[in-house]
Chain A
Amino acid sequence: MGLKQNLHNLKKKYEGTKMAPLFNGFHTFLYTPDEVTHNGTHIKVVDDLKRTMNTVIMALIPCLIFGMFNAGYQHYLAIGEIEAVSSGFFSAEFWTLDNFLIGAIKVLPLVVVSYVVGLAIEFVFCIIKGHEIEEGYLVTGMLVPLIVPVDIPLWMLAVAVAFGVVIGKEVFGGTGMNILNPALTIRAFLFFAYPTWMSGDKVWVHGAVERAEEIAGGANLDAISGETILGSLAQGNSAGYSVADMFFGFIPGSVGETSALLILIGALFLIFTKIGSWRIMLSSVVGALAMGLIFNGVVSSGWITESSKFYGLMSTEFWHHLLIGGFAFGTVFMATDPVTASQTNKGKWIYGFLVGFISILIRVFNPAYPEGVMLAILLMNVFAPTIDHYVVQANVKKRMKRLKVKTA
Chain B
Amino acid sequence: MGLLSKKDAKLITDPLADNNPITIQVLGICSALAITAELKASIVMAVSVLFVLGVGNVVISLMRNIIPSKIRIIVQLTVVAALVIIVDQVLKAFAYELSKTLSVFVGLIITNCIIMGRFEAFALGNGPWKSFLDGIGNALGYGVILIIVGFFRELLGSGTLLGFKVLGDPIEKTGLYAIGYENNGFMLLSPMALIVVGIIIWVQRSRNKDLIED
Contact = CB atoms under 8 A, between A and B. Distances in A.
A155 B184 CA distance: 12
B202 A194 contact: no
Given A156-B182, A193-B185, A194-B185, 11 more contacts: A153-B180, A153-B182, A155-B180, A159-B184, A167-B198, A171-B202, A189-B186, A192-B189, A193-B186, A193-B187, A194-B184
Given A167-B195, A171-B202, A193 B180 contact: no
Interface in A161-218: 167, 171, 189, 192-197
A195 B182 CA distance: 11
A189 B185 CA distance: 10
5 contacts: A155-B181, A156-B182, A167-B198, A193-B186, A197-B182
Interface residues of A, number: 13
Nearest to B182: A194
What 5 A-B pairs are tightest by C-beta distance, nearest first? A193-B186, A192-B186, A193-B184, A193-B185, A153-B180
Interface of B: 180-182, 184-187, 189, 195, 198, 202
Nearest to B180: A153
Interface string A144-165: 0000000001011001000000
Nearest to A194: B182
A45 to B, nearest CB: 34
A193 B195 CA distance: 14
Contacts of B195: 167
B180 A192 contact: no
Contacts of B185: 192-195
B78 to A, nearest CB: 41
Contacts of A195: 185
Nearest to B157: A193
A399 to B, nearest CB: 32
Nearest to A190: B186
A156 B187 CA distance: 14
Contacts of A192: 185-186, 189
Nearest to A191: B186
Interface string A328-363: 000000000000000000000000000000000000
A89 to B, nearest CB: 37
A196 B182 CA distance: 10
B207 to A, nearest CB: 14
A228 B198 CA distance: 37
A197 B195 CA distance: 23
Contacts of B182: 153, 156, 194, 196-197
B21 to A, nearest CB: 22
Contacts of B186: 189, 192-193
A194 B195 CA distance: 17
A171 B201 CA distance: 12
Contacts of B198: 167, 171
Nearest to B156: A193
Counting chain A CB atoms within 10 Å of each CB, which of B182, B189, B198 scores highest? B182
Contacts of B202: 171
Contacts of B184: 159, 193-194
A197 B181 CA distance: 12
A195 to B, nearest CB: 6
Nearest to B202: A171
B170 to A, nearest CB: 11
B76 to A, nearest CB: 37
Nearest to A166: B199
A9 B156 CA distance: 46
A192 B198 CA distance: 19
Contacts of B181: 155
Contacts of A156: 182
A196 B184 CA distance: 11
A156 B186 CA distance: 13
A407 to B, nearest CB: 39
A171 B200 CA distance: 13
